[in-house]
Amino acid sequence: MSDWDEVCDVLVVGSGAGGMTAALCAHDLGLKVLLIEKSELYGGTSAVSGGGIWIPDNHRIAGLGGSDSPEEAIAYLRAATFGEIDDGRIETYVAEGRAMVEYLERHSRVRFEAQAAYPDYYPELPGGKPGYRSMDPLPFDAAELGDEFLRMRPPSPGTLMMGRMAMTMKEARVLLCRGPGWIGLTCKVLWRYWRDLAGRRLSRRDRYLTLGNALIGALRCSLLDRQAPLWLNCALQELIEADGRVQGARLRYAGQSLRVQARHGVVIAAGGFERSQQMREQYLPQPTQASWSATPPHNSGDGIRAGQALGAQTALMSHSWWAPTSHVAGEEKQRAMFVERNLPGCILVNAAGQRFVNEGAPYSDIVYAMYEQASVPCWMVFDAEFRRKYPCGALLPGYAQPDWQVPAQLRDYFHKADSLAALAERIGVDAQGLEATVERFNPMAEQGVDVDFGKGDSLFDRYYGDPGVSPNPCLAPLRRGPFYAVRLDAGDIGTKGGLLTDVHARVLHDSGVPIPGLYAIGNSAASLMGRTYPGAGSTIGPAMTFGYIAARHIAAQAAAVARASAELPA
């Protein structure tokens, strides 16, 4: 074909951490790269995430006094995924994840630190670790981005102090329970924000980037260093296949339909399908609503559908990176309840007023339980002491934001009543069931042993508990009114079903062979983590690693083609 509007070597669809890593590595390998983004803001779901990556046997572990090995990591992943992933991707991920991080730290502005105290989500399983494998991006100064900063997708309000000031994960953990030094830390965060006078003149956004914004900022700045192009407001319409391989794609850009040739490969890194109501109803458990997702509104499965149109295999389409979420009026996405459930003095109940799950379990397990126990939606119930001490979703702790100071837009966010029976009536759950549940729960909480669901038994549960509460930092009775409830929906931070890929990130056809020229990573690809969530960063870590792998495979294929062409007789 000769009627191309644009020509590149590699087209990367999606500007999250996986797509940016693929683009950066492909550029460094001498390939002409075009990175496109459907929305007006770059960064995708990665930008609103915690930004962590789960990298077993990473190069920071030994320096922190820990230990790990590929064998332990593989054993853990096999146990956590129930042995369901047996196609070589687990071994490839473990082998290449460390190499990916080391490459970025040598050749880009990205820097990570391993979290010694952040355990795997199932540390009791064979090969599980009490820390070290989850790595957080170091803070990044957005002044390095110049005007490009305001084109980055902003962080989720729930990750910011007072909805405005950035915090690292370690800082947030101290502030969560007013740990040692929390007052000084609060002052530090405030001063860090307000001293940036140039930033305050530019916008309300904090230029001290942390979490997902730090990762995306460092990657974007690295691409700017290379003058690698990024097209915003550019949507994938369809893939173009000819002569037995994917040759490029039809894009919608600046109001026009363009045909872009990708001489050596197309990498689909466009996220999942969680914002497509039609695909949710087709694949996910019911009931389901796109509005329950905590992801940006543009993840509508475009890349997955484009692959399916070429006969690509899919897998895990009924699974998501589940997380219970709550609705905040006026916000574009719901807020995921990652840590509040672990704190002492709260329970999750269904319409019968009964507990149905360990509230401190990994967030993905909470939503699986919601569906298995017909508990969609469920309610997070807590008492006045919890309300005074801890945050809950959009609510700041009562000591910082008493009920009379709650903004008008949050008045419908929670329900409040002087008694459990009155609260049950307000939220539509069985009053006798709720009272009986609390009556059974309170003695267990006082003793520190949850005989029903084991809240606080796991090291993971306790990570976000209150260390000032004993004997179990995750348990306290609900005694003092008024009582409160917040509705939790069966939300997600992305779907995990997508195009099935091999160890090189090549998309597999229904026939089982790779589709030449087509690669998929991140939530556009079926997750190598199966139906579970082994540790913090299990989404972005594989996305970036297989972006790195895809770039190297494309470059190797391009080199092989060049050698073959050079050997042809004149």
Query: What does the chain come to in residues?
Result: 570
Alpha-carbon torsion (415, 418, 420, 423), positive or negative: negative
CA distance 36 to 124: 42
CA 89 distance to own-chain centroid: 20
pLDDT of residue 433: 98
CA distance 390 to 175: 9
Residue 238, sorted as left (phi over 0), alpha (psi -120 to 50) or beta, turns out to be: beta
CA distance 432 to 439: 10
Could you give phi then psi for residue 80, rounded to 5 degrees? -65, -30
pLDDT of residue 2: 65
Closest by CA position to 315, among listed 91, 496, 541, 493? 496
Residue that the structure tokens 């934001």 belong to: 401
Domains and their CATH numbers in the chain: 1-150+212-320+494-570 (3.50.50.60), 156-209 (no CATH), 325-490 (3.90.700.10)
SS3 for 213? helix
Cβ distance 33 to 233 under 8 Å? no
pLDDT of residue 127: 98
pLDDT of residue 570: 61
pLDDT in tens, the chain (570 residues): 468 999 999 999 999 999 999 999 999 999 999 999 999 999 999 999 999 999 999 999 999 999 999 999 999 999 999 999 999 999 999 999 999 999 999 999 999 999 999 999 999 999 999 999 999 999 999 999 999 999 999 999 888 888 889 999 888 888 888 889 999 999 999 999 999 989 888 889 999 999 999 999 999 999 999 999 999 999 999 999 999 999 999 999 988 999 999 999 999 999 999 999 999 999 999 999 999 999 999 999 999 999 999 999 999 999 999 999 999 999 999 999 999 999 999 999 999 999 999 999 999 999 999 999 999 999 999 999 999 999 999 999 999 999 999 999 899 999 999 999 999 999 999 999 999 999 999 999 999 999 999 999 999 999 999 999 999 999 999 999 999 999 999 999 999 999 999 999 999 999 999 999 999 999 999 999 999 999 999 999 999 999 999 999 999 999 888 888 777 776
Cβ distance 521 to 505 under 8 Å? yes
- Could you tell me the pTM of the whole model? 0.96
Closest by CA position to 258, among listed 93, 36, 43, 417? 36
pLDDT of residue 20: 98
CA distance readout (Å), 149 to 39, 203, 450: 15, 10, 47
Q: Strands of 323-382 (E only): list them.
A: 325-326, 335-336, 346-349, 378-382
DSSP state for residue 404 in the 8-state scheme: G
pLDDT of residue 1: 45
CA distance 119 to 462: 10
